[in-house]
Structure 1
Amino acid sequence: MNYEELAGLLNYDPKDGTLHWNSNPSPYLNYIGKEAGAKHGKWQVKYKGKRHQASILAWVITHGEMPSKRVQHLDNNPLNIKLENLALATHREYTRKQCLKRNNRSGVKGVCWDKSRNKWLVTIKKDYKPIFIGRYDDFSEAVAARKAAEAEHWRKEVIQ
């Protein structure tokens, strides 16, 4: 079972980001016209015992082929599969756009408190290598330095 086969069983509305069954996935159930999928941290459609990402299904239905890169949610909401919210991204671009990690205490990616020097430490990664940006007394200066580094080192589509 592949995404193309499953996409043939579904209708996708790109404006409201919903998937509906246009034929029954099982001979014992009548799902025609019903919304497909469930929320499991992200929108997924279960078919023949396997879960399939709704964002990839939406891409396949709209473009007629599997995406060449990862499908990224521009607003970081994995439940929003509206076409305007989906874009292709390399693995590197995809990881840059992800939400903050649970253990982030500053609230800003790449900005952390350096206890040994009592300053805000700013770093960024490019080509999988960390780049030291600087240490700052003021948090707002550190955030501004991080944003400037993003503009300098990363593609503009990824920053948004």
Structure 2
Amino acid sequence: MAHRLAWLLTHGEWPEHEIDHINGDRSDNRLVNLRPATRQQNMINRRMHKSNKLGVKGVTQVKDRYRAQLWFNGEFVLNRTFATIEEASAAYQAKAQEVFGEWNRAA
């Protein structure tokens, strides 16, 4: 909650929704690393899950191919398979950047 207190002391008001840590480090409460965010924006900026076996965000392996999937506003905006993990990752990152813009986190 230190990030919310820092926001209050600096801006004179509680944030309307949540406070996002731009670099993903929840212990980094410098003001340059904080921005107001909706829950959805805050979730978009999360790091890759620690159980990710491929080490590539948004990509899963399906037999001998790689599926890039991106779900947004209740529907898939990307759901394709590729021959290589690099192609799938590039497709995911391009679509995520298009959809999420500044909120997109690569890994």
Corresponding residue to 1:120 among 63, 66, 70: 66
Q: Where in structure 2 are the equivalents of 1:1-150 lying within 5 Å?
A: 53-115=1-63, 118-150=64-96
Cα distance in 2, alignment partners of residues 109 and 63 from structure 1: 34
Return the letter of the residue paired with 1:130. Answer: F
TM-score (norm. length: structure 1):
0.61
Cα distance in 2, alignment partners of residues 71 and 129 from structure 1: 26
Residue equivalent to 1:159: 104
**RMSD of Structure 2 on Structure 1 (CA):** 1.4
* Bigger relative contact order (CA 8 A; separation at least 6): 2
Cα distance in 2, alignment partners of residues 92 and 57 from structure 1: 21
* 1:112-153 deviation line (CA, Å, top 9, x unaligned): 1112xx200001011133334311111111111001111222
Alpha-carbon shift at residue 109 of structure 1 (Å): 2.0
TM-score (norm. length: structure 2):
0.89
Return the letter of the residue paired with 1:129. Answer: E
Contact 1:133 1:146 in 2 (8 A): no
Q: Identity, % of aligned pairs? A: 28
User: May I ask how many residue pairs the two structures share in their alignment?
Assistant: 105
